[in-house]
Structure 1
Amino acid sequence: MNDRVYSAESGSAESESWRKCGFTVGMDVSFLDEVEQAGGAFYDWEGRKADLLRMLRDHGTTAVRLRIWHVPPGGYCNLERTIVMARRIKSLGLRFLLDFHYSDRWADPANQHKPAAWAGLDETALREAARGYTRDVLTALSQQNAAPDMVQIGNEITPGMLWDDGRVDGDFDTDTQWEKLAGLVRSGMDGAKDALPDVRIMIHIDRGGDLTASERFFDRIAACGIADFDCIGLSYYPWWHGTLEDLRHTLGGLAKRYGKPVNVVETAYPWTLDKREGLDFIVHGEAQLLAGYPATEEGQASYLRDFIRIVRETAGGLGDGFYWWEPAWTPAKTEWSVGHGNNWSNLTLVDFEGRPLQALQALRGR
């Protein structure tokens, strides 16, 4: 395949409109609704109770991401609750990214299970379901003046989506399976455009520090006809995906090869490793940290500043921006809690009690 997979002409109009939006400073607050309902609260620098979304906006956030599940077991992140949250987002003048998982629960490199309601569908019916569901969700949001500005067709779909029909890892890594995956992605894209012709489309994988794997994925879907999306999305968590230089290399390589905006749509970093009763942190040891970035408030803020600079410096001005994953998932009891809280609560931008951390100030100085 040629070094440049996508033509400059195909991306030029979109790139121009994208540049008018500016660099995205985003936050994924998909748990916020549930945390608030469980009694979680947030506070400003003076210790007064604050609206978390408003506080994020006032610290420089320009966009918010929400995930949507088909029929989630806990009743959150469904269409009804997504409409409520989306209206709040739009009322604050923030851009809105909607992340379709096409599942009843987590979709990620280890889990891409189709909704239970779609379990018995054949390939044709599954494509129709994906298209209709995407269209109906976006239509419902639009009718509530809460339409997203961008949608993800799947979440971290490096191994495919809607397994096993759209699975492409391991023994499923065949030309036939890649064609099936492309068909499902196309169905989601078509459904999005049916409802919102001008909505931007992101394709999201998890390999923020692995240029070779990222290129292989996007080359494969391009060969199957999926090249007309608007933005490449990556996840980058240092303890899984490598150093900041690995990230820089991946961003630059993708921008050069595909000529599309690239967004690090998930990242985070710890502000403490101190043990807390009932919590088993996913990042819990010094060996998981980047050299020079301790798990302190200052270390987290330093990580965020340097991370933003690297994304901004992406070749061709194609660093679209970023989203911090779950900056406000405090230990309030939720459906996905572990013990007395969750294993992500030392990776937030607020402390365990919902008070802002120094990294929020780093957003202002970006």
Structure 2
Amino acid sequence: MSTANHEPPGPTGSGVSRRTLLLGTAAGAGALALGAGSPANAAPSATFVKGADISWMPQMEANGYYWNNKSGQRQDLFTILKSYGIGAISLRTWVNPSSDPANGHCSIQETAKMAARCRDAGLQVLLGFHFGDTWNSVGVQNPPKAWANMTYSQMLTALRTYVSNSLNVIKAAGVKPGWVKIGNEQNTGICHPVGSVSKPAQMTGLLNAAYDASKQIFPTTPVLIHLAQPQKMDSIRAFMNAYRGNGGKWDITGLSSYAGGSNVAPILGNMQTIQSTYGKPIMQVEFGGPVSKATATRDALRQFVSGIKSFGGLGTFYWEPEGYSPFTSYDMTAWSSSTRRPTAALDGFL
């Protein structure tokens, strides 16, 4: 955990994997217009995107969980989120996930059904590939079990085929994603060791295969790479320089930050530096704060939204605000387990 720019432990803070942290019990705008298909011609949408990752929603529903609105009335979760100005939903997908409610599911078939629900609710979808069977994050980048012993050439084919097939499933469900994210907090690369940042040509080859497959299915949908911990600029530069230096393709730089208080301002400065240095608009694809400190989280969210807007960034997504105990022990959600109401944290979007 950084002391200079505090990030809470978890998805981007200490490098601890979500697999360790999310030991939940399940008891009971047309986003970006691309000119001529060229990433260099990307032009930001006029509307700043406010979003949330709610990939747990189907499994929470299946296990009897529900949500009340701010007034304490049971209401459709999409409706509640839209009342806060949220217009986009981030959904993760895994290759061959387990049936664990909190740490599994999210197969592409399940994700396509959820994406269709989002579309029907009038919400854009950000589809995120982890390239694993469960959580990959800043500290963990394990390939799917089926790919674990592949050579680079074999993995290149498998990954390209997987992305293409997955996006065809999404397309068949009648959904055009607003964005596609190739990788999750991939500071150290993807699918270790084959796609590690220490093997930059192979890492770039795999990610470019994902980029190209995405553009073949959805030519105008922007593609994101996703890095964590923008307070650690050495790590950011190591990936970005390796990726750009080997011909990496991307349209938007996705960033995770769970910072709060006095640490938000310097991280906003780093985000702006990343945007100007590498020439792609940034989007904060993960944010959250302790559920027990909802007011502080609200204030940090407001800072991020206004700050990112100020330098032309594209949006901010809250990570799994709808989760609550005992479904998950993750403590940076934005819902009260006792009242099932949203906390003050989401007011940061208003």
- 1:121-270 pair list within 5 angstroms: 121-168=150-197, 173=198, 177-226=199-248, 228-238=249-259, 243-270=263-290
Counterpart in the other structure of 1:352: 337
Gaps of 5+ in 2: 1-35
Letter paired with 1:19: S
Give the C-alpha shift of residue 57 in structure 1. 1.3
Residue 215 of structure 1: SS of its match in structure 2?
helix
Counterpart in the other structure of 1:33: 58
Residue 243 of structure 1: SS of its match in structure 2?
helix
Q: Using the alignment, how far apart are the partners of 2:176 and 2:193 within structure 1?
A: 31
Residue 226 of structure 2: SS of its match in structure 1?
strand
> Does 1:320 find its partner at 2:314?
yes
Give the C-alpha shift of residue 208 in structure 1. 2.1
Alignment identity in percent?
Answer: 27
Letter paired with 1:245: A
Give the C-alpha shift of residue 298 in structure 1. 2.3
Query: Greater CA radius of gyration, 1 or 2?
Result: 1
Q: Using the alignment, how far apart are the partners of 2:200 and 2:301 within structure 1?
A: 36
Q: Using the alignment, how far apart are the partners of 1:167 and 1:259 within structure 2?
A: 23
Give the C-alpha shift of residue 155 in structure 1. 0.5
Closer, same or farther in 2 for the Cα pair 1:256/1:162, shift >3 Å? same
Counterpart in the other structure of 1:361: 347
Residue 289 of structure 2: SS of its match in structure 1?
coil
Give the C-alpha shift of residue 236 in structure 1. 0.7
Counterpart in the other structure of 1:280: none
Q: Once structures 1 and 2 are overlaid, which stretch shifts more, 24-33 or 304-313?
A: 304-313
Give the C-alpha shift of residue 299 in structure 1. 2.2
Highest RCO, 1 vs 2 (Cα 8 Å, sep ≥ 6): 2
Calculate the TM-score normalised by the size of structure 2.
0.83
Residue 25 of structure 1: SS of its match in structure 2?
strand
Contact 1:148-1:199 at 8 Å conserved across structures: yes
Q: Using the alignment, how far apart are the partners of 1:19 and 1:26 within structure 2?
A: 14
Q: Using the alignment, how far apart are the partners of 1:304 and 1:11 within structure 2?
A: 29
Contact 1:104-1:115 at 8 Å conserved across structures: yes
- 1:266-345 pair list within 5 angstroms: 266-272=286-292, 295=293, 297-314=294-311, 317=312, 319-333=313-327, 342-344=328-330
Give the C-alpha shift of residue 29 in structure 1. 0.7
Closer, same or farther in 2 for the Cα pair 1:237/1:362, shift >3 Å? closer
Letter paired with 1:268: G
Counterpart in the other structure of 1:286: none
Contact 1:130-1:191 at 8 Å conserved across structures: no
Closer, same or farther in 2 for the Cα pair 1:235/1:242, shift >3 Å? farther
After superposition, what is the alpha-carbon deviation per residue over 1:98-146, rounded to whole angstroms, capped at 9, x for unaligned?
A: 1100100111122111111122322111101111110111111111112
Give the C-alpha shift of residue 149 in structure 1. 1.6
Closer, same or farther in 2 for the Cα pair 1:11/1:105, shift >3 Å? closer
Q: Using the alignment, how far apart are the partners of 1:359 and 1:85 within structure 2?
A: 25
- 1:92-131 pair list within 5 angstroms: 92-131=121-160
Contact 2:259-2:300 at 8 Å conserved across structures: no
Gaps of 5+ in 1: 1-8, 273-294, 334-341
Runs (4 or more) in structure 1 with deviation over 3 Å come to: 9-12
